[in-house]
Amino acid sequence: MIPVRQRTQQPSQRMPGMPCPRCGSYIPTSIQQILFSNSLCCPLCGLRLNIDKTKSYKALKILAKVNEAQQRVEDTSHFSK
């Protein structure tokens, strides 16, 4: 009998993130991590990506609004944990 290969989801379907510019591995992240951390780190090759808060101010401000909206939805959801 030939085993059936299970279809796996792409990393981007499971958790937000981005490919590592050095090795191509998936770097999972969250809005909170981008907002409150100074860097992201590739779990495979260890490349550290620094977040320049000054240059990214406009994008971070938008992400903060998205984060607040998500929090409001979670707080008011009848399906919360």
**Given this model, what pLDDT does residue 71 score?**
92
Alpha-carbon span 7 to 52, nearest angstrom:
37
Q: What is the pLDDT of residues 17-35, one digit of tens each?
A: 999 999 999 999 999 999 9
Identity of residue 18 = M
Instruction: Check whether 44 has a pLDDT greater than 80.
Output: yes
Q: Which residues contact 40 (CB under 8 A, 6 or more apart)?
A: 27, 29, 33, 34, 48, 49, 51
Q: Residue 16 contacts by C-beta under 8 Å, 6 or more apart in sequence? A: 28, 29, 30, 31
